[in-house]
Chains A and B, each alone.
Chain A
Amino acid sequence: NAGVIQTPRHKVTGKGQEATLWCEPISGHSAVFWYRQTIVQGLEFLTYFRNQAPIDDSGMPKERFSAQMPNQSHSTLKIQSTQPQDSAVYLCASSLAWGGDQNTLYFGAGTRLSVL
């Protein structure tokens, strides 16, 4: 079990460029989450998929952020027209299911996005 895999580990973009972050959840996990981590705000929920379907994207900045999960094995977070305030560590997490004892979140190592 390789755990949750996130690529790239580091990404540097210029202001106004697009950034795409990738996440491969643990095989067999049906729930996938994206979080953003900054020193000031801590860990912030962005969005959640269950069985590939988008369930809640209430944490996503509406205009420039989007997330997709085209198949069971990967999810992407896309940020258009990146701004310096988007600089953060973006964490992907997956869980086996939801409810009961199956709700432990397993996080990837994160992608550190730096917008210059």
Chain B
Amino acid sequence: QSALTQPPSVSGSPGQSVTISCTGTSSDIGSYDRVSWYHQPPGTAPKLMIYEVSSRPSGVPDRFSGSKSGNTASLTISGLQAEDEADYYCSSYTTSNTVIFGGGTKLTVL
């Protein structure tokens, strides 16, 4: 099964909002509300930011929000801060009972 499709990079200035898209198919994102988003600064393990499309684990700021429409999920970061600069990955459950990830998006805070 092919990876989910994410833009290689996005950027924004402090205080602005950015949105990262994650496009799949009817066999993954389109079939389940089991989309997650991860934040990974260089040299560290990934951190779960969003799960089940729009739920936030305890401790994740509400500046981070998730949504889904059809086969595409999105992560929006509002009030961009310098520490948000990192790689971001989406993932989804699939109809094959597996989990697939996106290729990752590098967020640069200008």
Partners in one complex: no
